[in-house]
Amino acid sequence: MQYSGFRVIAEGLFGNRGWKPAWRDPTPKPAYDAIIIGGGGHGLSTAYYLAKNHGLTNIAVLEKGWIGSGNIGRNTTIVRANYFLPGNSEFYSHSLKLWEGLEADLNYNVMHSQRGLINLFHSDGQRDAFARRGNAMVNQGDDAELLDREGVRAHLPYLDFEQTRFPIYGGLLHRRGGTARHDAVAWGYARAADRRGVDLIQNCEVTGIDIENGRVTGVQTTRGAIRAKKVGIVVAGRSSQVAAMAGLRLPIESHILQAFVTEGLKPVIDHVISFGMGHFYISQSDKGGLVFGGDLDFYASYAARGNLPMVEHVMEAGMTLMPMIGRAKLLRSWGGIMDMSPDGSPIIDKTPVDGLYLDCGWNYGGFKAVPASGWTMAHLMATDQPHEVARRFRLNRFATGHLLDEEGTGSQHNLH
């Protein structure tokens, strides 16, 4: 069923009785040409582009819970292309371009809103660093404008510019940055993949990976064994466990990241604001809630909830930056399990097992990467060659020293 404005009106006139489920609920077949483990944003987009770009439609996505139950439904929805290092820069640039055509491509409203992202800086040294980053973004073909303090004030008059600890010197404005509705991205890719014949199999946990003579032959699941010549592991925070089923030990440590939302308010914050020095960022959802977050809880964890010290820290940072939000009531907080890599950059690569591919290490920036990750992972799985814009996301780069350490914080997993 094609979605359109006309359809919404027509359905409205006839009691909305004509809508159909957005995707099928198939029983697993005994064998597929390819299997994707993990029905998060990256798994779904990989399946979609395998079908769309490479004509592979006899494929299945195996999800242990339901579509949208993982980080794809837990993130703070920021979409941007403001990376600095070659390797990251072209990848996120490609992703943002895909975002810009995504709704038409998927025939789904993902509420992509390019409302502009402002990264604040608080010293001369930081200004230089942001000027350099902005130049790298412009050289990549993306947009960046360096704002001085008055330039920031014109956009964000409500910030506390004179706070003594981090007085605001200016900001880097990335106008094409913004947000999107996270669940809608999962649902849009799920529906679009299903329409191309992909089987989305929920409540199906992969419990083993079958390997014969160094080659993958299929997977064991809670819904039986399924054979496939190609298998992609796309399970974000659970990457270490699933890779261990194939005897692999990954450069990943899983950490908890929390986020928060207030009650719905009238529009007060038009942009996405990032206050890096305070570990705080914020935007306002289309429902009116202020959506904000901070840094990791900092210790390895698989609990999808955090601890109070980080809650307190994030609230303090928010109050430092914009005291006006102090009277808003917090509605909910939650956590997601982040696959932290030792350089903060992802891995999209083959594994030492033939036919087994890996897409992980998204740290806390994998939402914006959903389109390009699927695009390049599908290319890798279909052609056995890394895609041009993801060619540096190698699994062995840690051993060879070709790190992509965007923040320059060294090889400690929780510092990225």
Partner 1 sequence: MRLTCPLCGPRDRREFYYYGAADYLNRPAGGDPAEWDAYLHLRDNPAGQTRDLWYHETGCAQWLLVTRDTVTHSISDVALVAAGGASGGGIAAKVKPEGSA
Residues that bind partner 1 (CB under 8 A): 238, 240-241, 244, 249-254, 298-303, 307, 309, 342, 398-399, 410-414
Judged by beta carbon, residue 236 or residue 252, the one nearer ligand FAD is 236
Longest dimension (CA), the chain: 65
Residue 347 binding target from ligand FAD, partner 1, none, CB below 5 to 8 Å by type: none
At 346, list the tokens: 């992802």
Judged by beta carbon, residue 112 or residue 413, the one nearer partner 1 is 413
**What's the closest the beta carbon of residue 78 comes to ligand FAD, in angstroms?**
3
Residue 75 binding target from ligand FAD, partner 1, none, CB below 5 to 8 Å by type: ligand FAD
Q: Which of 35, 96, 86 is nearest to 60 (CA)?
A: 35
Q: Which residue is nearest to ligand FAD (CB)?
A: 40
**What's the closest the beta carbon of residue 25 comes to partner 1, in angstroms?**
28
Ordered alpha helix ranges (H), 140-181? 149-155
Judged by beta carbon, residue 78 or residue 156, the one nearer ligand FAD is 78
**What's the closest the beta carbon of residue 69 comes to ligand FAD, in angstroms?**
5
Instruction: Round to whole Å and give the CA distance between 189 and 181.
Output: 13
Instruction: Round to whole Å and give the CA distance between 137 and 145.
Output: 10
Residue 414 binding target from ligand FAD, partner 1, none, CB below 5 to 8 Å by type: partner 1
Local structure of 183: helix, strand or coil:
helix
Judged by beta carbon, residue 337 or residue 395, the one nearer ligand FAD is 337
Contact by Cβ (8 Å): 259, 328: no
Judged by beta carbon, residue 357 or residue 367, the one nearer ligand FAD is 367
Judged by beta carbon, residue 37 or residue 106, the one nearer ligand FAD is 37
**What's the closest the beta carbon of residue 257 comes to ligand FAD, in angstroms?**
4
Residue 361 binding target from ligand FAD, partner 1, none, CB below 5 to 8 Å by type: none
Residue 37 binding target from partner 1, ligand FAD, none, CB below 5 to 8 Å by type: ligand FAD
Residue 64 binding target from partner 1, ligand FAD, none, CB below 5 to 8 Å by type: ligand FAD
Instruction: Round to whole Å and give the CA distance between 391 and 385.
Output: 9
**What's the closest the beta carbon of residue 271 comes to partner 1, in angstroms?**
32
**What's the closest the beta carbon of residue 45 comes to ligand FAD, in angstroms?**
8
Instruction: Round to whole Å and give the CA distance between 360 and 61.
Output: 16
**What's the closest the beta carbon of residue 2 comes to ligand FAD, in angstroms?**
26
Backbone angles phi, psi at 215, to 5 degrees: -130, 140
Strands (E), 69-159: 78-79, 117-121, 145-148
Local structure of 125: helix, strand or coil:
helix
Q: Which of 297, 295, 307 is nearest to 256 (CA)?
A: 297
Contact by Cβ (8 Å): 341, 378: no
Q: What is the DSSP letter of 328?
A: S
Judged by beta carbon, residue 111 or residue 169, the one nearer ligand FAD is 111
Q: Which residues bind ligand FAD (CB under 6 A)?
A: 37-43, 62-65, 69-72, 74-78, 205-206, 234-238, 242, 257, 259, 293, 336, 338, 362, 364-368
Residue 74 binding target from ligand FAD, partner 1, none, CB below 5 to 8 Å by type: ligand FAD
Ordered alpha helix ranges (H), 267-401? 308-321, 370-383, 397-400
CA angle 257, 180, 280 (to 5 degrees): 40
Judged by beta carbon, residue 119 or residue 301, the one nearer partner 1 is 301
Contact by Cβ (8 Å): 243, 233: yes
